[in-house]
C-alpha cells in the first residue's frame, strides 16, 4: 500500500449500475424487459452521465436523483417500454445496487492496513447512504462525499477539492479510483494519483490527462506500488 487515503467513485466503480435492469428483467412482473435489459442499462447510464455534464456546463444544476429519473425516462421511451410499474421498480432498485463481488474484501484490506477510505460521488447524500447500507460497507468508509455540497458535477476541480477539505491532506496522499475514464482523467489532471477500473476494456479517453493505473477490477487496489 503506497497511499494513506483511498477515494472511490461510487456508481460503476463500487456499485454495479447494470444490476437494476438485470434484476428487474428476471422478475415475473416485467417480461417485456427480458430481451432489452442490456440496452436499457447502457442507455440509462449514458443519458444519466450526459445530463450531468450538460447541466454542469450550462450552470443549471439538478441533483443526481433527478438526472437519474430523466435518463431513465428517455431510455424507456426510446425502448417503447411504457409501464409505470417498471419505471418505479427500476428507480427503487437503483437505491440498492449490487456491489461488485470484490468490494468488501478490498475495502477491508485497506482498512486493516491503516488507510482512510472515502466515496466521492455525483450521487445525493440520500442515494449514497442507501447504497452503502444496502451493500453492507458502512464500516469500511471514513467519509461519503456528495457533489451536492458544491452543486456541480465531476470532473470539476471543485468536486476533487472536497477530499482535501475532508481529510486535510495533500493531493499526493490520495489514490483516486473510478470506473469512468473521464473521471480518472479529471482526477489525474487535478493532481491525484489515479486508478481507472476499466472492466469493459475500453480505449483511454483523449483528454487533458490520463490515469496512472489501468485495472480490470478492484482486487489489486491494495497492492499498487
**CA 107: distance to chain centroid?**
16
Domain termination site, one of 73, 94, 115 = 94
Provide the residue range defining the domain that includes 43.
19-94
- DSSP-derived 3-state class of residue 7: strand
The number of domains in the chain is 2
Q: How many residues does the chain have?
A: 225
- Note the pTM of the prediction, 2 decimals: 0.96
Angle made by CA atoms 208, 219, 132, in degrees to the nearest 5: 85
Q: What is the CATH number of the domain that holds 196?
A: 3.40.50.1000
End-to-end Cα spacing for the chain: 6
Residue 132 near residue 118 (C-beta atoms within 8 A) = no
Residue 129 near residue 17 (C-beta atoms within 8 A) = no
C-alpha cell at 92: 427503487
Active site residues: 9
Is a pLDDT exceeding 80 seen at residue 8?
yes
- Same domain flag for 102 and 190: yes
Is a pLDDT exceeding 90 seen at residue 181?
yes
C-alpha cell at 85: 410499474
Which carries the bigger pLDDT value, residue 99 or residue 2?
A: 99
- Same domain flag for 57 and 138: no
Write out pLDDT tens, residues 46-61. 999 999 999 999 999 9
- Same domain flag for 147 and 217: yes
The Cβ of residue 80 has, within 10 Å, a number of other Cβ atoms equal to: 8
Q: What is the spatial distance between Cα 181 and Cα 203, in angstroms, rounded to a whole number?
A: 9
- Same domain flag for 107 and 187: yes
DSSP class of residue 204 equals P
- Same domain flag for 75 and 107: no
Residue 131 near residue 21 (C-beta atoms within 8 A) = no
How much of the chain, in percent, has pLDDT values that exceed 90? 97
- Same domain flag for 52 and 110: no
| Residue 2, pLDDT score | 74
- Same domain flag for 9 and 107: yes
Q: What is the spatial distance between Cα 160 and Cα 176, in angstroms, rounded to a whole number?
A: 10
C-alpha cell at 65: 436523483
Domain termination site, one of 28, 60, 94 = 94
Distances (CA, A) of 20 to 11, 38, 69, 169: 12, 11, 13, 36
Domain termination site, one of 94, 127, 153 = 94
Write out pLDDT tens, residues 161-172. 999 999 999 999
Calculate mean pLDDT across residues 80-87.
97
| Residue 21, pLDDT score | 98
Residue 12 near residue 86 (C-beta atoms within 8 A) = no
- Same domain flag for 105 and 182: yes
| Residue 123, pLDDT score | 98
- Same domain flag for 195 and 116: yes
Amino acid at each position: 500500500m503506497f497511499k494513506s487515503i483511498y477515494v472511490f467513485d461510487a456508481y460503476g466503480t463500487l456499485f454495479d449500475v447494470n444490476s437494476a435492469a438485470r434484476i428487474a428483467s428476471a422478475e415475473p412482473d416485467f417480461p417485456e424487459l427480458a430481451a432489452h435489459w442490456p440496452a436499457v442499462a447502457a442507455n440509462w447510464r449514458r443519458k444519466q452521465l450526459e445530463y450531468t455534464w450538460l447541466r454542469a456546463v450550462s450552470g443549471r444544476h439538478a441533483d443526481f436523483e433527478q438526472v437519474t429519473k430523466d435518463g431513465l425516462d428517455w431510455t424507456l421511451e426510446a425502448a417503447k417500454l411504457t409501464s409505470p410499474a417498471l419505471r418505479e421498480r427500476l428507480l427503487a432498485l437503483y437505491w440498492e445496487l449490487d456491489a461488485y463481488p470484490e468490494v468488501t474484501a478490498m475495502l477491508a484490506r485497506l482498512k486493516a492496513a491503516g488507510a482512510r477510505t472515502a466515496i466521492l460521488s455525483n450521487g445525493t447524500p440520500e442515494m449514497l447512504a442507501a447504497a452503502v447500507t444496502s451493500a453492507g460497507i458502512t464500516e469500511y468508509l471514513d467519509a461519503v462525499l456528495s457533489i451536492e455540497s458544491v452543486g456541480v458535477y465531476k470532473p470539476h476541480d471543485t468536486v476533487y477539492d472536497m477530499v482535501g477539505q475532508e481529510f486535510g491532506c495533500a493531493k499526493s496522499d490520495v489514490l483516486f479510483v473510478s470506473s469512468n475514464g473521464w473521471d480518472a482523467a479529471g482526477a489525474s489532471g487535478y493532481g491525484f494519483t489515479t486508478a481507472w477500473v476499466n472492466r469493459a476494456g475500453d480505449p483511454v479517453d483523449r483528454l487533458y490527462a490520463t490515469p496512472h493505473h489501468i485495472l480490470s477490477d478492484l482486487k489489486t487496489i491494495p497492492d499498487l506500488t
